[in-house]
Amino acid sequence: MFDGLTIGQFIPGDSLIHRLDPRTKIVTTILLVAAVMLAGSWPAYLVLSILLLAVFTLAGIPPGMLWQNLRPFWFILGITFLLQIFFTPGEVVFTAGPLHVTRPGLALGGQILWRLTVLILAGFLLTATTSPLKLTAGLECLLAPGKRFGVPAHELAMMMTIALRFIPTLFSEAQTIMKAQQSRGADFMQGGLWGRVRGIVPLLLPLFAGAFRRAEDLATAMESRCYRGGAGRTRMEELSLRGIDFGALILCVALFSLILGLRWRGW
Amino acid sequence: MITVNNLTHIYAPGTPLETISLRNINLQISRGEFVALAGPTGSGKSTLAQHFNGLLLPSAGCVLVNGMDTRDKKKRRELWRTVGLVFQYPEQQLFEENVFAEVAFGPRNMGLDRREVERRVRRALEMTGLEYDTVKSMSPFMLSGGQQRRVALAGILAVEPPVLVLDEPAAGLDPAGRRHLLEQIKAWQLSRGTTVILITHNMEDAARYADRMVVLLKGEKWREGTPRQIFGQPEGLHEAGLDLPLPAGVMFGLKEKGLAVRCDTLTLDEAEQEIKTVLPGGK
Ligand SMILES: Nc1ncnc2c1ncn2[C@@H]1O[C@H](COP(=O)(O)OP(=O)(O)OP(=O)(O)O)[C@@H](O)[C@H]1O
Ligand SMILES: [Mg+2]
């Protein structure tokens, strides 16, 4: 079902994108997301899509993996698209039974489909090219100013590292459990709705039991190494912004301004 | 019974994480045989094990079980009844509210009637050394790790498959528990003609119980033969990450010291006999 690859997995590499400072990548990703939300015209879609694909190419991630990462979302994507094309009022393009596909519906559906796809891929790009350690270091650093107002920057970042660290573990564990139950004749795909819901118990229960056990072990392991939160902790690798970071930031700000400008003009 | 033809398996093909975990494996396992599958960590043992009941499918080559190709989707159900696979750390897959239901999961999925299910659960539990009447209504999560392992194993045994594949079933058990478990599996093999494939890191176990050994190294079949043949030529075994069982190891040590002894002794008794032959006076 999810052989080999999992969502949010880091793909080690030494590309330009891998070497960018995590803070740069987080900020540019946020800018990209904002730009995607603002974009409302073909030129804007085109520019952003090309940019994203170019960055993927630069990062050396094969196109097949984009598809693999989108696959788990196809259902949500499909449903939102269908809802839009059928339930937006306007000029009818064609009719399927009681349902009408409208021109504004198609446009809106396409737009939402594109937005969601780009958002998913942008998230994938960030986690694929940034090791979890760096990602949280960057996040903690960006959140640090909030500490004065009571934002637990370190704790948030640590929670995220742990979550990211264990997503692949959970996936592979789910896979193993599923296989084990299948070899006892469990069937995850058959039966009506009720059958399927019941069929999932042999998968979910051991998975949760395992997750709790793991969480407890981890807490013990951290405490026995005297972990007590962020105060006074130092890092193995200090973050530093370099030329390419400023280059990337300037490029993204420029692009964001362009999209904003287009929007301003009603595009 | 099982034929593996030119089997190659690749995890995550076409991505930077691609791993070739098995390369061109050829293997024949006949009915009723006890085969030990050995090899260092990461050599592909578990990957191979999952090919026997179609949980993993070959990237190239094929696996035939009783003439059924594991790639054949229509044979899925028959395949899992034929090949029972006990995973590494099977206790992590427990989920039912009591031990009885846990062990009965497989037989119930086979659609057996209540009496037969109960008979099989009782038998499987007692085989693994658990008291049926004591444990049947306990929650599997209240048991110790070793007991959980037995329950999980019983869950497969209760299906009574003609082929039993065990991925390090004794890892983490105490020596007595380990011995008991393997003795029971051996007895099961002998009494019912079950084909057993045992994955193990423990060379003593392999030497003691297996009719034949297959050693994997870096995803390839490195050596194959009876334990006597494998341990009789210990050259290279160490490089392959395997130890000699104690009796063979001692003899090999003596041979290196210049004594003319055979090295393919598998049990302490055999080793004792062999040492007597070279001792002055023969005792
Ligand atoms: N789900 C997976 N995805 C990607 N690679 C995998 C996966 N499972 C195993 N591998 C890789 O395949 C190779 C063989 O692994 P396998 O688990 O078969 O080894 P093993 O011989 O059972 O080792 P061990 O003695 O530690 O259980 C290893 O290099 C491993 O990294
Ligand atoms: Mg293994």
Q: What is the count of residue pairs from A and B with beta carbons less than 8 Å apart?
A: 81
For B22, B23, B31, B53, the CA distances from B28, given in Å and listed in that order, are: 16, 16, 10, 15
pLDDT digits (tens, 9 = 90+) for B245-274: 777 778 778 877 877 777 777 777 888 888
Q: What average pLDDT does range A144-151 have in this prediction? A: 84
Determine whether domain B2-243 maps to CATH 3.40.640.10.
no
Amino acid at B207: A
Residues of chain B with pLDDT under 70: 281-283
Query: Tokens at residue A63, please?
Result: 């196109």
DSSP string, A179-202: HHHHTTT--SS-SSHHHHHHHTHH
pLDDT > 70: percent of chain A: 94
The answer to whether A58 and A15 are in contact (CB under 8 A) is: yes
pLDDT digits (tens, 9 = 90+) for A170-215: 888 888 888 888 888 887 766 677 777 777 888 888 899 888 888 8
Mutate to test the pocket of ligand 1, among B9, B37, B46 (most ligand atoms within 8 A of CB): B46
B118 CB-contact burial (10 Å; exposed 0-12 / middle 13-18 / buried 19+): middle
Domain assignment of residue A224, yes or no: no
A46 CB-contact burial (10 Å; exposed 0-12 / middle 13-18 / buried 19+): exposed
**In chain A, positions 170-209, which contact chain B (CB-CB < 8 Å)?**
173, 176-177, 179-187, 201-202, 205-206, 209
**Looking at the 3D structure of chain A, how many domains does it have?**
1
pLDDT of residue A1 exceeding 50: no
Instruction: Report the residue of chain B nearest A68, measured CA to CA.
Output: B15
Q: What is the pLDDT of residue B282?
A: 54
Enumerate the domain spans of chain B. 2-243, 244-283
Residue nearest to atom 1 of ligand 1 (CA): A4
Instruction: Report the residue of chain A nearest B87, measured CA to CA.
Output: A180
ipTM: 0.76
Residue nearest to atom 24 of ligand 1 (CA): B41
Instruction: Using an 8 Å CB-CB cutoff, list chain B residues near A65.
Output: 15
Domain assignment of residue A140, yes or no: yes
Instruction: Using an 8 Å CB-CB cutoff, list chain B residues near A183.
Output: 53, 55, 80, 83-85, 87, 156
Angstrom distance (rounded) from CA A93 to CA A167: 44
Domain assignment of residue A192, yes or no: no
Q: Cβ atoms within 10 A of the Cβ of A86, count? A: 15
For chain A, the maximum distance between any two Cα atoms, rounded to a whole number of angstroms, is 67
DSSP string, A27-90: HHHHHHHHHHHH--SHHHHHHHHHHHHHHHHHTT--HHHHHHHHGGGHHHHHHHHHHHHHHS-S
Query: Min CA distance, A156 vs chain B (Å)?
Result: 30
Angstrom distance (rounded) from CA B265 to CA B10: 38
A47: containing domain: 22-157+234-264
pTM of the model: 0.74
Rounded (10°) CA dihedral B167, B171, B172, B177: 100
pLDDT grade for A3, boundaries at 50, 70 and 90: very low
pLDDT of residue A4 exceeding 50: no
pLDDT digits (tens, 9 = 90+) for A74-103: 888 988 888 888 888 888 878 877 788 888
Q: Ligand 1 within 6 A of B41 CB?
A: yes
Q: What is the pLDDT of residue A6?
A: 60
Kindly report the average pLDDT of chain A as a whole number: 84
